[in-house]
């Protein structure tokens, strides 16, 4: 069972998953990081460049806060590229004591998802805010605008944008654009749009291009995901 809702942090999502039976699960790249309450404590899932495949046990429950692209570093306190394609205990970032206290508060809350939101908001209140151009970069890349055009629009050179994107998103703008485009095409297909039309609307050259990118980023064809 999986369910999610919009979080109080703009663009973030609170989600909950319970594994009904043991077996593998696949988490697709989405440009963001997650703070997750697991049976073993609080875990950080870094930004993925390809799908992460894990194995769950029957009855395991997970509650997570998925940050919008560029939002996680301000909460977690580390550049996103240091977490790329990793799953690390929060204790590795905050220290054993602080992470244990945070985990106990979240696990003991009536609504762990709301407790994760409160934890993140408290951290944001004391942290340096994300760079103001971050939402504009995400929006422009999600709309399919070329990287050079996006860099110019936010007043940065392409190399500057690449360097700052590593810290904010975990990878460069071209990779983020690929991830956002893949998710856009998948959302269209899940809503019933035929694959060829989904490819065109998402900005792919053709359906074959969509198929190649879907396999490269998720490890399986679009039909399997659907």
Q: Is 138 left (phi over 0), alpha (psi -120 to 50) or beta?
A: alpha
The pLDDT assigned to 55 comes to 85
Residue spans of beta strands (DSSP E) within the chain: 2-6, 13-18, 23-27, 34-38, 41-45, 52-56, 61-66, 87-89
Question: Smallest Cα–Cα separation from 183: which of 209, 214, 205, 212?
Answer: 214
Report pTM.
0.92
- What pLDDT, on the 0 to 100 scale, is given for residue 25? 85
The CATH number that domain 134-225 falls under is 1.10.10.60
Per-residue tens of pLDDT for the chain, all 226 residues: 889 999 999 899 999 999 877 878 899 999 999 999 999 999 999 999 999 998 878 888 999 999 999 999 999 999 999 999 999 999 999 999 999 999 999 999 999 999 999 999 999 988 877 788 899 999 999 999 999 999 999 999 999 999 999 999 999 999 999 999 999 999 999 999 999 999 999 999 999 999 999 999 999 999 999 8
Instruction: Supply the pLDDT for residue 20.
Output: 72
Instruction: Tell me if 24 sits within 8 A of 55, measured CB to CB.
Output: yes
Report the C-alpha gap between 4 and 17 in whole angstroms.
9
Residue range(s) occupied by CATH 1.10.10.60 in the chain: 134-225
């Amino acid at each position: 069972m999986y369910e999610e809702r919009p979080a109080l942090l703009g663009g973030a999502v609170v989600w909950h998953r319970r594994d009904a039976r043991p077996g593998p699960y696949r988490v697709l790249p989405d440009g963001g990081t997650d703070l997750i309450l697991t049976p073993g404590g609080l875990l950080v899932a870094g930004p993925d460049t390809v799908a992460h495949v894990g194995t769950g046990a029957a009855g395991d429950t997970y509650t997570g806060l998925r940050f919008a692209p560029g939002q996680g570093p301000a909460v977690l306190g580390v550049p996103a590229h240091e977490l790329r394609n990793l799953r690390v205990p929060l204790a590795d970032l905050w220290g054993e004591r602080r992470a244990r206290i945070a985990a106990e508060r979240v696990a003991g809350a009536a609504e762990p998802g709301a407790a994760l939101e409160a934890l993140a908001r408290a951290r944001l209140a004391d942290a340096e805010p994300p760079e103001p151009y971050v939402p504009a970069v995400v929006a422009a890349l999600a709309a399919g605008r070329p990287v050079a055009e996006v860099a110019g629009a936010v007043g940065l050179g392409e190399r500057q944008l690449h360097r700052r994107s590593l810290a904010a998103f975990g990878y460069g703008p071209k990779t983020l654009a690929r991830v956002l485009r893949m998710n856009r095409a998948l959302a269209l297909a899940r809503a019933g749009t035929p694959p060829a039309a989904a490819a065109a609307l998402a900005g792919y050259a053709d359906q074959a291009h969509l198929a190649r990118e879907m396999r490269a980023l998720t490890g399986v064809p679009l039909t399997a995901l659907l």
